[in-house]
C-alpha cells in the first residue's frame, strides 16, 4: 500500500515539473492569497495594538476613586447603647495612607496617582489670574499622557521634602512669560512663591468641550509635588484652630428659602475632610478591572470604619469600546483571510479542472495499464497539495517582506505573529486538499476507452 502511494507521489511530482508554467500559474493564487493574509494580518494587528494603546491612554484601564463629602444619616450614624442617642461614625477620609494601603494590599496594580486640587491665583508683574493648583506625583503625568516641552520632572528630593517648585501649563507660560524662558523663574501661586522647573506641552481642548463636558483647561494648571500642597498650602487631614472656627461658623449659617411659607431654615454646609481629592489606579489587565475595584472598595470601607464616603468609577464606555474594537478587528481580519484564500482555492480548482481536460489521454493510459481510480484520485490530490504547500511557503516569505516594507516606508506599525504564519500555511494546504478533490474525482471517473480516443 505504501509503495502504491509513493508511486502516485512520484508521478504527481513528475507531472508538476513537466508542466512548470501551469504549476506556477496554479500556485499564484495561493502565493498572493497567503501573502495578502500575512501582510493584512500584520498591518491589522499593528493598527489594533496602536488603537487599543490609544484607548488605554484615555483611561480604559483606570479605576477612579473620588471622595464623597456629604453623607446621609443612615451611613454616618448609629445608636449609642448607653445613652440611646444617635452618634456619628468617624471616617479619616481619603488620604495618602489609603494610597499606601492599596499599593501594598491590592495586586496587579500598574500605577497609582493621588491628586489634590485647590482653587488659587497667580500673580506676576502686577497681573493676577485665577488658576488651579494641582498636587501630584510623577505617575500623574504618565497616566494623563502629559509631556514636557522644556525643563525637567520633579526629582526624588523635591517630592520627599515638598519643595516650592512647580511645573506650569502652556497657557501660563504664554500669559506670564511671553518673551522669556520661564525655567528657573519664580511665580507667586496663592501665598507662596514657586520656582518653575518645567513647562508642559500644550493640551488642545476646545472651548465647547470645556463648557459642555466640564473638562478643565489643563494648560492653566500649576502642578506641584503633592507634599508641597500638604506642607505649604492645606492639609485637610490635620485639625487646626482655623478649621474648627470655620466649621463652627458654617454650621451656624442660616438662609431664607424662597417659596412655600418663606420660613427661615437652618442649613449646614458639609466640610471637606478628605486629604486628597482624587485617586487614579491603573490596572495592568482590562479583565482585572472589576475584581480589583471590588478589592479596593473593601479595603477603603474597612479603613474608613464602614463609612462609605468615597465612590469608585470604572470607565465602562471606554471598556465597551475596547471590546468592540477587538471584535471588529477580529471580524475584518478573518474576512480578509477567508476571501483571499478562497480566491486562491478557486484558482487551484479551475486550473486543475483544466489540467484534467488536457491530460485525459494520460489518465486513460494509466487506467488501461491497471491503475485504480483511487490511484488517479491520489495523484491529482498530491499535485494540488504540493502546489498549495509550495505556494504557501513562497506566500509566507512574500507576506513577511510586504509587511516589513509597509512598516518601513509607510510608517505603519506591523506585527507578524507565529499564529498568523501557521494559520496561513495550514489553510493553504487545506485549501489545496479541498479544492483538489473535485478535479481528482473527475479525472478518476473517466472511461479508459473513451479517454484513449480523446483528441
Averaged pLDDT of the chain:
76
Q: Is the pLDDT of residue 84 over 80?
A: no
How many helices and strands, by DSSP H and E, does the chain display?
Answer: 16, 14
Residue appearing with cell numbers 514636557:
148
Weakest mean pLDDT among 7-11, 86-90, 205-209, 401-405: 205-209
SS (H, E, C) 3-42: HHHHHHHHHHHHHHHHCHHHHHHHHHHHHHHHHHHHHHHH
Q: For residue range 37-55, list pLDDT tens digits in order.
A: 788 778 777 777 776 666 5
Backbone angles phi, psi at 441, to 5 degrees: -65, -40
β-strand partners of 223: 134, 167
Which are the contacts of 132, defined by CB distance < 8 A and separation ≥ 6?
A: 117, 118, 119, 120, 216, 220, 221, 222
State the cell numbers at 403.
509587511
CA 436 to chain centre: 43
Q: Between the CA of residue 138 and those of 66, 113, 153, 155, 435, what are the distances in Å?
A: 19, 8, 7, 9, 60
Stretch 401-410: mean pLDDT, rounded? 83
- Distance CA(221)–CA(345), nearest Å, equals 61
Q: For residue range 103-159, list pLDDT tens digits in order.
A: 888 888 888 999 999 998 898 888 888 889 999 999 888 888 788 888 999 999 999
Q: For residue range 263-316, list pLDDT tens digits in order.
A: 444 445 567 888 899 999 988 887 788 888 899 999 999 998 888 888 888 776
Q: What is the pTM of this model?
A: 0.55
Under 8 Å between Cβ of 432 and 61: no
- Distance CA(362)–CA(371), nearest Å, equals 11
* pLDDT band, very low/low/confident/very high, at 70 (cuts 50, 70, 90): low
For residue 214, the model assigns a pLDDT of 46
- Distance CA(5)–CA(195), nearest Å, equals 85
Weakest mean pLDDT among 100-109, 360-369, 423-432: 360-369
Under 8 Å between Cβ of 286 and 59: no
Percent of the chain with pLDDT over 70: 69
Q: Please tell me what DSSP assigns to residue 447.
A: -
- Distance CA(177)–CA(187), nearest Å, equals 10
- Distance CA(291)–CA(306), nearest Å, equals 20
For residue 167, the model assigns a pLDDT of 93
CA 360 to chain centre: 59
* pLDDT band, very low/low/confident/very high, at 198 (cuts 50, 70, 90): very high
First-residue to last-residue Cα distance in the chain = 34
Under 8 Å between Cβ of 193 and 207: no
Q: What is the DSSP string of 375-391?
A: HHHHHHHHHHHHHHHHH
Choose among 8, 46, 20: nearest CA to 403.
Answer: 46
* pLDDT band, very low/low/confident/very high, at 253 (cuts 50, 70, 90): very low
Strands 109-124 and 186-189: antiparallel
β-strand partners of 200: 148
Q: For residue range 5-28, list pLDDT tens digits in order.
A: 777 677 677 767 767 777 777 777
**Helices 373-409 and 20-58: angle between axes, nearest 10 degrees:** 50
Q: For residue range 203-231, list pLDDT tens digits in order.
A: 765 554 444 444 567 888 999 999 999 99
- Distance CA(318)–CA(358), nearest Å, equals 60
Angle at 415 between CA 414 and CA 416, to 5 degrees: 120
Q: Is the pLDDT of residue 256 over 50?
A: no
Stretch 399-416: mean pLDDT, rounded? 82
Residue spans of the domains in the chain: they are 2-54+322-453, 62-252+268-315
Q: Please tell me what DSSP assigns to residue 218.
A: G
Amino acid at each position: 500500500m505504501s509503495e502504491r502511494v509513493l508511486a502516485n507521489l512520484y508521478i504527481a511530482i513528475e507531472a508538476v515539473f513537466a508542466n512548470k508554467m501551469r504549476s506556477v500559474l496554479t500556485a499564484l493564487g495561493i502565493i498572493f492569497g497567503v501573502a495578502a493574509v500575512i501582510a493584512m494580518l500584520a498591518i491589522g494587528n499593528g493598527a489594533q495594538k496602536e488603537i487599543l494603546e490609544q484607548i488605554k491612554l484615555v483611561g480604559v484601564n483606570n479605576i477612579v476613586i473620588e471622595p464623597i463629602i456629604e453623607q446621609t444619616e443612615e451611613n454616618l450614624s448609629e445608636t449609642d447603647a448607653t445613652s440611646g442617642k444617635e452618634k456619628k461614625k468617624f471616617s479619616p477620609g481619603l488620604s495618602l495612607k489609603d494610597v499606601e494601603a492599596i499599593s501594598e494590599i491590592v495586586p496587579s496594580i500598574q500605577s497609582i496617582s493621588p491628586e489634590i486640587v485647590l482653587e488659587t491665583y497667580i500673580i506676576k508683574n502686577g497681573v493676577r489670574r485665577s488658576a488651579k493648583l494641582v498636587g501630584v506625583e510623577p505617575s500623574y503625568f504618565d497616566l494623563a499622557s502629559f509631556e514636557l516641552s522644556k525643563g525637567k520632572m520633579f526629582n526624588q528630593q523635591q517630592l520627599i521634602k515638598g519643595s516650592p517648585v512647580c511645573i506650569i501649563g502652556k497657557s501660563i507660560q504664554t500669559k506670564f512669560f511671553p518673551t522669556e524662558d520661564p525655567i528657573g523663574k519664580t511665580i507667586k501661586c496663592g501665598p507662596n512663591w514657586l520656582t518653575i522647573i518645567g513647562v508642559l506641552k500644550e493640551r488642545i481642548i476646545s472651548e465647547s468641550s470645556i463648557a459642555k463636558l466640564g473638562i478643565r483647561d489643563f494648560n492653566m494648571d500649576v502642578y506641584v509635588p503633592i507634599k508641597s500642597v500638604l506642607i505649604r498650602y492645606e492639609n485637610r487631614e490635620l485639625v487646626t484652630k482655623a478649621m474648627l472656627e470655620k466649621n463652627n461658623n458654617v454650621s451656624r449659617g442660616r438662609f431664607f428659602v424662597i417659596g412655600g411659607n418663606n420660613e427661615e431654615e437652618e442649613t449646614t454646609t458639609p466640610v471637606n475632610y478628605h486629604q486628597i481629592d482624587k485617586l487614579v489606579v491603573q490596572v495592568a489587565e482590562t479583565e482585572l478591572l472589576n475584581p480589583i475595584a471590588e478589592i479596593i472598595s473593601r479595603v477603603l470601607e474597612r479603613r474608613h470604619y464602614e463609612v462609605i464616603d468615597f465612590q469608585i468609577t470604572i470607565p465602562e464606555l471606554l471598556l465597551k469600546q475596547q471590546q468592540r474594537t477587538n471584535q471588529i478587528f477580529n471580524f475584518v481580519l478573518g474576512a480578509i483571510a477567508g476571501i483571499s484564500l478562497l480566491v486562491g482555492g478557486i484558482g487551484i480548482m479551475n486550473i486543475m479542472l483544466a489540467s484534467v481536460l488536457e491530460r485525459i489521454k494520460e489518465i486513460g493510459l494509466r487506467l488501461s495499464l491497471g491503475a485504480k481510480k483511487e490511484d488517479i484520485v491520489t495523484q491529482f490530490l498530491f499535485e494540488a497539495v504540493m502546489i498549495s504547500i509550495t505556494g504557501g511557503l513562497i506566500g509566507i516569505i512574500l507576506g513577511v517582506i510586504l509587511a516589513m516594507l509597509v512598516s518601513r516606508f509607510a510608517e505603519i506599525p506591523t506585527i507578524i505573529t507565529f499564529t498568523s504564519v501557521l494559520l496561513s500555511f495550514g489553510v493553504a494546504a487545506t485549501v489545496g486538499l479541498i479544492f483538489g478533490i473535485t478535479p481528482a474525482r473527475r479525472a478518476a471517473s473517466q472511461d479508459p476507452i473513451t479517454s484513449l480516443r480523446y483528441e
